Amino acid sequence: MPDSRNHNLLCGALALHNDLVRGDQLNDALDTWVETPTQSLVDILLAQQAIDDTAHQLLGNLVQRHLSVHGGTAENSLEALAIEVRFSDPLISLRQRADHHQAAGDEPPTRIVDPEQTVAAPGVSVSFAEPITTPGDRFNVLRLHGKGGIGKVSVAQDTELHREVAFKELQQRFADDTNSRGRFLREAEITGNLEHPGIVPVYGRGEYPDGRPYYAMRLIQGERLQDAADRFHQESGSWSARTFRQLLAHFLDVCHVIEYAHSRHVLHRDVKPTNIMLGKFGETLVVDWGAAKAIGTDEDLGAGTESVLLPAADRDTAATEMGSTIGTPSYMSPEQARGDHTEVGPASDVYNLGATLYYLLAGGAPIRGTDLTRIVQQVQTGDFPEPREVNPQIPGALNAICLKAMALEPRNRYTSAALLADDVERYLADETTTVYHEPVLASWQRWMRRHPAVTATGAATLVLGLASAITLTSVVASSNRLLATKNSELETANRAERTAWIETDQRRQEAEQAQIQAQRAQEVAENARQKSQAILTFLKDDILAAARPDDGAGGLGVNTTIRAALDAAEPQIAPDFNNAPDVELAMRDILGTSYTKLGEATKAVSQLQTAHTLAVREFGKQHPTTLSILSHLATAQQAAGQLEIALPLHQQVLQTQRDQLGPQHRLTLKAMNDLAVAYDDAGQPAEAIKLHEQVLQAYKTILGPSDRETIASMGNLGVVYRSVGRLTEALHIHEEAVRLAQQEWGLRDLGTITAMQYLAVDYADAERFPEAVTLYRQVLAHRQELLGTDHPRTLGVMNNLAEAYRLSGKLADAIPLWEAAFKQFQRKLGPAHPNTLATLNNLATGYRSSGRASEALMLFETNLGQLRNKLGADHPNTLGAMNNLASTYRSAGRLQDAASMFQQARQGLEAKLGPQHPNTLLVMFNLGNTLLAGKQYRQALALFTQVREAASEPWGPEHRVTLAAWKGEANVHDAQKRWAEALAIYARLLPLQESRLGAQNPATQTIRLAAARLYLVTGQAEQGFPLVAQWVEIQREQMAQQPLHFARQLAPVCHDLLQAKQFSQAAGYLRECLQLHQQHLPQAWVTADVQSMLGAALLGQGQRLLDSDRAAAVKQFEAAEPLLLESVAALEKSLESPHPPATHRVTTAIRRLIALYQSWEKPAAVAAWRARLPQPAEVPPGPRP
């Protein structure tokens, strides 16, 4: 491997290794470098703005250091890097790409995941780079995270506990400033000694050799409260929205943090929305304690309180001068603005809290503007608008709370942060606050809202009581009437002396029987009353009671959830209904189905198994109640991923319902639908389609086309149509389902949302990505609101949205969604659940696409093993995982392993889904690329042709898979230098790509340039140059904001024009190209190389004029000479730089000079420059431009 190429690979490896570039940025640069390997990879990264000048300088230092450590050769450095786990696979991939000149972007995405099984805030990635600085032996600084007023924060590796931390240090320019150092140390000590969940913990502190302090703390990953508030005001602004209540909950957390700090006699003095961080898991953290001040002494505190915190920094540094201000002007209290520190106390922090609440309510600071003097004056006089003056819709209670906290005089504010929090909590609990007196009507409405359980319980009790009383009275009255009749008959019989003894005895027996029936009726009525009372008591005392305050009997707090209430009530079912198994099984059935819908499949299975056992014992296996519970149990097992258990249960229910009720009964149709969904989940689409089509036809006939069951059945059938490649039918049926659902149920109904989700998946498969993303985002918002953020269905939508982002080229948006969904699926459903594994597969695909190959490989291998164990070796998801792992093997250069696995996946998919299924064709395409990389041209060409012909039938000639297969054929021809065949394909591809994506799309531009290059290579300049001109015009417009990037793309095009002897056209573009290079990279060797090419173009023009107009030719030579001389000098000088050009560039530039002097008939100059050649050789006669 030539050393210049190794040097480029080393630069790319270290850039990725040290997080100076992302994987996708390096891939883009490598694509350019593979096509024009004579360019420097670092210059390409600069031109593409993947790195800036600072990163460029840092990368140069890293390369030199790495070379010095490993013997001074790039090859040794690359071998050393290959040992690192993270980069070993990307390094192999880089070498393979350099060897085969095969761009990864030629293949379409390799997604083979059932979208309905969930085709699946990022952390800071770990760096394995050597530390840039090494403060002590424990913390290795990895990269800069941000800078503040006097400090800067970096991401560092804690070598003792193997975790990433935030490493804060005093900036060098403040190292000698006593006040800055004191403030920095004060923040470190105060933060380290305040032990509260809302304060960032400090892990350690120290000093540099020059005495500059630093400390390490938890690395916060989240957003600022200000950002969350801004988003709320931009998106909804509804005061009843869950988002606003969450903002207030975070504000309460801040109040509690400040109250805790006050208990330690610490003032924050700079509370504001930007100093409050919201973590990804609900944390609220108050940060930036640099302005904090410890006040008081231990004696100032009463017994039982927290000890006073007096940092050494406060004891050792001088007090703040009178008249100076501490805090942020727009949020500081009047006494802070006056610089009167004798007045600054806990009430000042209360004011800051009120100003923060103001921001949440009004969407901005209380006082705004750019004139600092004016702001301070307004703060001192309390001159700011009330929140309701900014927005009249702000609730009056919150307006009053805010104004109380921001009172001009400290004595008029809340006396503590805790009392401020209490009033906000009263508002959230729908109670009267201490500072706002509302109208009587509003108070009455509040009482009704606060006592729904009492109202509902009273109403329910009354209804049940009346029902029981009516039933009991009716039964008793009926019995009494019957008894009266019988007694009358007995009396008549006794008076009739002529009645025979037998008739008299018969009447007596009838009377006795009537008495027994009446007694039984009374017992039935009493039993029903007792059951009703037991259910009512369970509802009132065990479920509704959960909403009581948490200090009440059975209370979980007013903000408890239904899920928590069910969890708390479940243990009481058995003792409460010990003597009523029929009631117990009904309660467990309700509880189990509720758990299933809440996404708690394991809990659901437990309840439903118990309910089914009780039902069999009470009613028998064939009873409708038993069958209903069995159906619910099968659905719960399916949700839990236990398909091998769920399928037989669904089949048992269907068979029994069909036998007992007939094939057209509604319960039979429901059982058919449930079994069809289970078949689809189990990878048996043919059986699923057969049942779904029968169910849909029956529902349309029996229930009508707009019934809920009919629309849901349409959605289910469309899902399976899509899974077998019948996308057109799926789109049609799902668009109709969405139309009917929105018409019948509205946009917020769960049925409508499910139909929209099905259609979004169709749009993604049909490459209608903007429509897919829009629908997914709507669905996700509804799912989060109605089901919660961790419900499996919500996570499934996150997964699908991420896939749509990836397919539309927004990988940076996709990966965080996959990471979040995968973590939640693992926690919620377990690591082996099909949804977890589908998400894992997609996350691995994202990692591979972003250049994180080793992580992707590990995830793909794990995923494949899990899927084989869970679903079997022939399940479509398992075969899809094989395809994805094989693609990763190919990227890593393991071509033999990749080809073998692709072949296995292809055979499995052909048997399972058929040879023309989309997933089968994608595997064949990927196998073709693998064979091409291995120079097995004949086999690769046959596969590409087969894929193209097969893909054209269902998808048409403009589908991305069809076009990719055609491009694969062209690549094979190009690799074999069969340029005429390759050019013929590009000529057919170009108009199709323009029709599909537009003339200015980057993919269209790639094909246009490839066709132009082949026209030039084959001597058809008249066809090639118009394409070049069009390409240049589009690129110039698109790269108007990136002129250097445009220049770097233009240079190889000019080289192709020179090779085709299109000197005039080349000269025009080279002048533009050289001007841009001289503006942005005046000292770079690439600029000298462009200058040499321009000299060659002028030389070529002069040589053509020699026979017809020698004077004109000489003018061209005179113009070319200084360009060529300067370029040779610059290229020779750059050989000594850290990033030298390849030696042949210098040789080429010298040969151009020799050709110039030969044409100009200057033999002495020819001889002199021949002597300068690295290896003197006879220059062939004729021009060498």
pLDDT at 672 exceeding the cut of 80 = yes
Residue-level pLDDT at 517: 63
CA 659, 660, 666, 671 dihedral sign is negative
Region 939-946: mean pLDDT is 93
Residue-level pLDDT at 516: 62
Residue-level pLDDT at 538: 52
CA angle at residue 273 from 268 to 274, to 5 degrees? 85
Residue closest to 214 by CA, chosen among 252, 157, 166, 173: 166
Q: State the Cα–Cα distance between residues 1172 and 1185, nearest whole angstrom.
A: 18
Place of tokens 């190959």: 853
Q: What are the phi and psi torsion angles at 270 (to 5°)? A: -150, 45
Comparing 181-185, 342-346, 645-649, 859-863, the range with the smallest average pLDDT is 181-185
Element (H, E) at 250: helix 242-263
Q: Are 392 and 404 in contact (CB under 8 A)?
A: no
Region of 1062 (left: φ > 0; alpha: ψ -120 to 50; beta: rest) is beta
Region 852-859: mean pLDDT is 86
Domain 139-220 matching CATH 1.25.40.340: the answer reads: no
What amino acid is encoded at 157 in this protein? Q
Q: State the Cα–Cα distance between residues 1058 and 1184, nearest whole angstrom.
A: 10
Q: Are 1035 and 1005 in contact (CB under 8 A)?
A: yes
Domain 1039-1185 matching CATH 3.40.190.10: the answer reads: no
Q: Are 116 and 761 in contact (CB under 8 A)?
A: yes
Residue-level pLDDT at 27: 64
Residue-level pLDDT at 1115: 95
Q: Are 10 and 74 in contact (CB under 8 A)?
A: yes
Q: State the Cα–Cα distance between residues 248 and 232, nearest whole angstrom.
A: 12
Q: Taking the chain, what is the end-to-end CA distance rounded to the nearest angstrom?
A: 28
Q: State the Cα–Cα distance between residues 889 and 760, nearest whole angstrom.
A: 32
Residue-level pLDDT at 1002: 72
Residues near 758 by beta carbon (within 8 Å), at least 6 away in sequence: 116, 715, 718, 719, 734, 737
pLDDT at 649 exceeding the cut of 80 = yes
Residue 294, token pair as written in the block = 């410890």
Residue closest to 117 by CA, chosen among 823, 672, 792, 880: 792
Q: Each residue of 772-810: pLDDT tens digit?
A: 888 989 989 888 887 788 888 889 889 889 988 887 778
Q: State the Cα–Cα distance between residues 634 and 626, nearest whole angstrom.
A: 12
Q: Which carries the bigger pLDDT value, residue 458 or residue 987? A: 987
Q: Each residue of 38-93: pLDDT tens digit?
A: 667 887 777 777 787 666 776 776 777 677 766 777 766 665 554 332 233 333 33
Q: State the Cα–Cα distance between residues 688 and 283, nearest whole angstrom.
A: 45
Q: Are 267 and 346 in contact (CB under 8 A)?
A: yes
Q: State the Cα–Cα distance between residues 887 and 154, nearest whole angstrom.
A: 36
Q: State the Cα–Cα distance between residues 23 and 855, nearest whole angstrom.
A: 12
Q: Are 801 and 789 in contact (CB under 8 A)?
A: no
Q: Which carries the bigger pLDDT value, residue 476 or residue 747? A: 747
Give the Cβ contact number of residue 1062 at 10 Å: 20
Q: State the Cα–Cα distance between residues 432 and 446, nearest whole angstrom.
A: 9
Residue-level pLDDT at 1157: 94
Write the DSSP assignment of 115-171 as a string of letters.
Answer: GGGT----PPPP--SPPSB--TTTEEEEEEEEE-SSEEEEEEEETTTTEEEEEEEE-
β 284-286/222-224 pair status: unpaired
Residue ranges per domain, the chain? 3-101, 139-220, 236-370+380-429, 450-491+509-556, 560-640, 1039-1185
Q: Each residue of 1033-1089: pLDDT tens digit?
A: 988 887 787 788 788 889 988 998 998 999 999 999 999 999 999 998 888 889 999
Element (H, E) at 1092: helix 1085-1105
Residue 226, token pair as written in the block = 């200000």
Exposed (0-12), middle (13-18) or buried (19+): which is 70, by Cβ within 10 Å?
middle
State the pLDDT confidence band at 903, using cuts at 50, 70 and 90: very high
DSSP state of 199: B
pLDDT at 287 exceeding the cut of 60 = yes
Q: Give the CA dihedral 904, 909, 910, 914, nearest 10 degrees.
A: -170
Identify the CATH number of the domain defined by range 236-370+380-429.
1.10.510.10
Residue-level pLDDT at 324: 39
Q: Provide the CA 1113 distance to its chain's centre, in angstroms.
A: 63
Q: What are the phi and psi torsion angles at 213 (to 5°)? A: -80, 160
pLDDT at 537 exceeding the cut of 60 = no
